[in-house]
Structure 1
Amino acid sequence: MKFDMDYIAHHNELTETNPYFKLFLTIILLIVTLALDNLYFDVIIFVVMSFVILAIAKISIRSYLKFLSIPVAFLVITCVFLLFFFGKGDVIYETGILGIVVTTDSFHYAVYTFMRVMGCFPCLGFLALTTPIAKILHCLATLKVPKIMIEIGLLMYNAIFIFLNEIDTMQKAQDTRLGYSSYWTSFKSLGALTSTIFLRSLDKSETLQFALDSRGYTGELPLYEPKKGE
């Protein structure tokens, strides 16, 4: 099943909840989580917000795990570098490869970075998975966030989904041609996907620009404005 965050944001039990409340709650929790240097608090925030997303908003665990999968992959890579290449202190593990070791400081950096970021992910997920992007941008506009920043955010949001849709389409095309039937073919297919996706994304972005121009785009994107009482 293809992950569609926009569909999930429009179809959950918290969609109609006040978007300002969700926005401010997310910002406060992010600030507190980043400011505190406490592993226990990070774990509590992760558990509580995950419970809210899964049990109260009733978002499927499969969709939630898909939301977490890509950022967690980058987080793990970052923490591996912190573990082996940063920090000083006493050596607690030697790899025996080019003098690469794990020290007390590097272990501390890796663990605390991992837990702190993992505490932030459900906070962002709470906002992103329960609130349509149009309502989030409207809230930012009423809070006097510069319009250029809001428009950049909207275009980036659109570009991300164009990018993901292209990857999904190309992977399915490769899969139907047995592009992932073996290790070697998978490696070749991944290389072809990587080399092609950038050009396809540029082409889609150019198409988007033509569509905007044909509809009288003058450099300012219209934003969603809810009716009174919404």
Structure 2
Amino acid sequence: MKYNLDYIAHNNKLRIVNPKLKILYTFLTLIISLFSKNIFVPFIAFLVSSYLIIFRARVPVKIYLYLLLPAIAFALFNLIFMSFWYGKIVIFKIFFITFKLEGLKQGILIFFRILGGVSTMLFLALTTPIIELFYVLRRYLPKEFIDIALMMYKFIFDLLDTFLTMKNAQETRLGYKDVKTSYKSLGMLMSNLFIRTYEKSEKVYISMASRGYDGDIRILTELPNLKLKNLFIVLLFEFLLALLALTLPPLL
């Protein structure tokens, strides 16, 4: 796939920005948005993150919307569910469903929090290669945790590649021509997929051990320089965002 996350992370206009700066922006913006009582703060985070993704990083709009729409759908479902489940003051009633004021307010706030939080996380995922994230986080988190995450990330793609290869082979042999055959083929696929993946993991470990693996995965990468101008802009934005979160009263 040409436009997968890993490809976009390596081929965007913000690729040359230091990953520490992007992690700092993501972490601070996410925390401020989640703890804000006003919907304007997470909405500003959504607008800024969307601007950086689309106009600065030049990520295709279709890809960004494709990743964002499931979060929006979940947020809308949460908004509707909380509107008739949470609170006591009734706004209106449709058939047997009663919509309540407290639930509507809380649902709208959570909707904007999800919107701001997901767009901020997508900014980090779409502009920063995963190997650079692990390289930075390795300095602040236990290396065992990072090594496990790195191996999990690798085997996700191995698992997906094996799954697609086996599924394509089944489809060329009419393995999904009807419901009964589809269930049988799917069962064979799942059982063989586990065995193939386990065998591949054993081969990877043997190959690593034969090359001197001693329990420490060394990540070799060169990070771009951190520009003070960009750091100042990020800190100024986070300060203004936090100031808005502290001073603005709850809108709803």
- Aligned residue identity for 1:129: L
- Aligned residue identity for 1:42: P
Q: Which of 106, 111, 116 in structure 2 is aligned with 1:114?
A: 111
Q: Does 1:75 align with 2:74?
A: yes
Q: Distance in 2 between matches of 1:127 and 1:80?
A: 26
Q: Which of 117, 122, 138 in structure 2 is aligned with 1:125?
A: 122
**C-alpha distance 44-224 of structure 1, shift in aligned 2 (>3 A):** same
Deviation at 1:74, TM superposition (A): 8.2
**C-alpha distance 171-48 of structure 1, shift in aligned 2 (>3 A):** farther
- 1:221 corresponding residue in structure 2: 217
**C-alpha distance 13-83 of structure 1, shift in aligned 2 (>3 A):** same
**C-alpha distance 172-106 of structure 1, shift in aligned 2 (>3 A):** farther
For 1:158-216, what per-residue CA distance to the aligned partner results, in whole angstroms no more than 9, with x for missing partners? 2333344445545655665677889x69x859965994597265555444434433433
For 1:38-80, what per-residue CA distance to the aligned partner results, in whole angstroms no more than 9, with x for missing partners? 22222222122112111111111233234335x6288359727
Deviation at 1:107, TM superposition (A): 3.6
Deviation at 1:226, TM superposition (A): 2.2
In the superposition, the TM-score normalised over structure 2's length comes to 0.67
Q: Say if 1:10 and 1:130, in contact at 8 Å, map to a contact too.
A: yes
Percent identical residues: 31
Q: Say if 2:83 and 2:107, in contact at 8 Å, map to a contact too.
A: no
TM-align CA RMSD = 4.0
Q: Distance in 1 between matches of 2:18 and 2:4?
A: 22
Secondary structure of the equivalent of 2:16? coil
Secondary structure of the equivalent of 1:137? helix
Q: Which structure has the higher relative contact order (CA within 8 Å, separation 6+)?
A: 2
- Aligned residue identity for 1:68: L
**Which 10-residue stretch deviates more, 55-64 or 202-211?**
202-211
- 2:87 corresponding residue in structure 1: 88
Q: Distance in 2 between matches of 1:157 and 1:17?
A: 23
- 2:249 corresponding residue in structure 1: none
- Aligned residue identity for 2:114: V
Q: Say if 1:88 and 1:104, in contact at 8 Å, map to a contact too.
A: yes
Give the number of equivalent residue pairs: 224
Q: Does 1:212 align with 2:208?
A: yes
- Aligned residue identity for 1:139: V
Q: Say if 1:174 and 1:189, in contact at 8 Å, map to a contact too.
A: no
- 2:49 corresponding residue in structure 1: 49
Q: Distance in 1 between matches of 2:95 and 2:210?
A: 60
- Aligned residue identity for 1:115: F
Q: Distance in 2 between matches of 1:41 and 1:177?
A: 54
Q: Say if 1:88 and 1:105, in contact at 8 Å, map to a contact too.
A: yes
- Aligned residue identity for 1:131: T
Deviation at 1:218, TM superposition (A): 2.5
| Unaligned residue ranges in structure 2 (runs of 5+) | 227-252
Deviation at 1:119, TM superposition (A): 0.7
